[in-house]
Amino acid sequence: MSIQFNYQNAGLRAHELEYARPLAEAAFCAVEDRCGPGHEMLGWLDLPRDYDAEEFARIKAAAQRIQAQSEVLVAIGIGGSYLGARAGLEFVKGPFGNQLREKGVEVYFAGNNLSSDYVQSIFDIIGDRDFSVNVISKSGTTTEPAVAFRLFKEKLEAKYGKEGARSRIYATTDKARGALRGLAVTEGYETFVVPDDIGGRFSCLSAVGLLPMAAGGMNIDQVMRGCLSACSAYHNPNFMQNDAMLYAALRYLMLMKGKQVEILASYEPALTMFGEWYKQLMAESEGKEGKGLFPVSASFTTDLHSIGQFIQDGSRILFETVLWVEEAQRELLVPHDPANVDGLEFAAGLSMRDINEKAMKGTLLAHVDGGAPNLVVTLNRLSDYTFGELVYFFWKSLAISGYMIGVNPFDQPGVEAYKKNMFALLGKPGYEDMKSALEARLGK
């Protein structure tokens, strides 16, 4: 495994871990035996072993076709239908992957908000260049991607004609249900399937994430290999030898001790979107029935100059999980300057990676001293393989911790509330009864 988990700065006494152990083991068994709430949504559990090889080959072929026909891919989706792919691409290609274009097409993500300025900016970025679209929605009825798809489909048809557009549209959706499936069949788009037993936030290693990742130049064979390695490692029923189970137990203990906020802190800007993916995974899975840790993500050292003050000294409601990457992909040394006007000569000759490490270690000790316990997840490097491993580590651990706090980690009933109000305010048929009451509350 290229992931190591360290909890020596969790501030726990030995008996506390023992206290959580039986609950963690029971939750682990409920996941493995597929007998807990929502167990019908555990299709991701053995995904790296039993994924659809025929569809996987089609994904790779489609990615090559996209690369041959376009400079840009617009991936349209929201929540679990976009976060994993975006996290993966930035994890491997870095935050400037689209500008550097070392491999694959530029990938832009749309349909994850309702901002017209955002969509217009993507139109501007595409300009006269060739582009393709991957529209991704498991339900096929989500408003944000549906609006964006209409806009990009119109652009495609205006540029290439209906027939030409058809060969540039790839739809990833349910195998039988939903408006997007109907549209794809009617229009003749190439389609990929979101498996029935995999929910949105567990879907990034199905066609949902794999097609945009492959088109953007990621090696999805390596992603699946990394995922398989984690799948085998975290299948281990031995509590002390299974880091996913240990991490779940530690998160549970933090919650029991009143640490209600978990900050996933990384020291690589390439992990910023991974933090967004993690937030959705944790919040949508655990935040229900008045329970759960509130997940926050932070990019250090940047955010040490914003939320660092609070972490050090504010309400003692939080703990940190630090994501640390051992190797820098490309190293830089601080240059010598004998004049030393900036007073930085003490660091001359050091690598930025080494300075980053000292910042991480110094911050960890300061935050622990300030009353913010730290857990550390170390990766040897950022690669396609380690992305697959890390995704599975968090999936497995979250499934266990969700059962430990007594929720169904695989549903998301709370996401519906805003949609109903929005539909009523927009005048969608079927929501007429709600409209006037909502408008009265808004002061109309």
Residues classed as catalytic? 284, 305, 419
Region near ligand PA5 per CB under 6 A, out of 29-37, 198-206, 381-389, 431-439: 198-206
| Cβ(412)–Cβ(138) below 8 Å | no
The answer to whether residue 409 forms part of the interface with ligand PA5 (CB under 6 A) is no
* Sequence-distant (≥ 6) Cβ neighbours of residue 200 within 8 angstroms: 79, 80, 81, 138, 208, 412
The answer to whether residue 145 forms part of the interface with ligand PA5 (CB under 6 A) is yes
Q: Binding residue for ligand PA5 (CB under 6 A) from 138, 153, 155, 251?
A: 138
Q: Which two tokens stand for residue 12?
A: 């726990």
The answer to whether residue 81 forms part of the interface with ligand PA5 (CB under 6 A) is yes
Q: How far apart are CA 38 and CA 52, in angstroms?
A: 22
| Cβ(375)–Cβ(5) below 8 Å | yes
Q: Binding residue for ligand PA5 (CB under 6 A) from 78, 223, 231, 399?
A: 78
The answer to whether residue 142 forms part of the interface with ligand PA5 (CB under 6 A) is yes
Enclosing H/E stretch for 173? strand 169-173
What single-letter DSSP state applies at residue 333? B
Nearer to ligand PA5, 282 or 323 (CB): 282
Q: Binding residue for ligand PA5 (CB under 6 A) from 80, 195, 216, 217?
A: 80
Instruction: Give the shortest CB-146-to-ligand PA5 separation in angstroms.
Output: 8
Q: By CB neighbour count within 10 A (0-12 exposed, 13-18 middle, 19+ buried), where does 352 fall?
A: middle
Length of the chain: 444
Region near ligand PA5 per CB under 6 A, out of 85-93, 138-146, 228-236, 316-324: 138-146
Instruction: Give the shortest CB-400-to-ligand PA5 separation in angstroms.
Output: 18
Q: How many residues bind ligand PA5 (CB under 6 A)?
A: 15
Q: Which two tokens stand for residue 85?
A: 């792919």
SS3 118: helix
From residue 268 to residue 307, what is the string marking binding to ligand PA5 with x (rule CB under 6 A)? ----------------x-----------------------
Instruction: Give the shortest CB-113-to-ligand PA5 separation in angstroms.
Output: 13
Positive or negative torsion for Cα 203, 204, 205, 211? positive
Instruction: Give the shortest CB-138-to-ligand PA5 separation in angstroms.
Output: 4
Q: How far apart are CA 424 and CA 187, in angstroms?
A: 30
Restricting to residues 90-119, which ones interact with ligand PA5 according to CB under 6 A?
Answer: none
The answer to whether residue 139 forms part of the interface with ligand PA5 (CB under 6 A) is yes
Q: Binding residue for ligand PA5 (CB under 6 A) from 201, 251, 259, 396?
A: 201
Q: Binding residue for ligand PA5 (CB under 6 A) from 112, 134, 363, 412?
A: 412
What single-letter DSSP state applies at residue 138? S
Instruction: List phi, psi (to 5°) of 240.
Output: -75, -15
Q: Which two tokens stand for residue 34?
A: 């597929």
Instruction: List phi, psi (to 5°) of 178.
Output: 95, 155
SS3 235: coil
Region near ligand PA5 per CB under 6 A, out of 38-46, 102-110, 137-145, 434-442: 137-145
The answer to whether residue 155 forms part of the interface with ligand PA5 (CB under 6 A) is no
Region near ligand PA5 per CB under 6 A, out of 41-49, 76-84, 420-428, 432-440: 76-84
Strand partners, 323: 266, 377
| Cβ(13)–Cβ(253) below 8 Å | no
Terminal-to-terminal C-alpha distance of the chain: 58
Q: Binding residue for ligand PA5 (CB under 6 A) from 48, 97, 200, 308?
A: 200
Nearer to ligand PA5, 78 or 304 (CB): 78
Nearer to ligand PA5, 104 or 195 (CB): 195
The answer to whether residue 79 forms part of the interface with ligand PA5 (CB under 6 A) is yes
Strand partners, 368: none
**Residues in contact with ligand PA5 by the rule CB under 6 A:** 78-81, 137-139, 142, 145, 199-201, 284, 412, 415
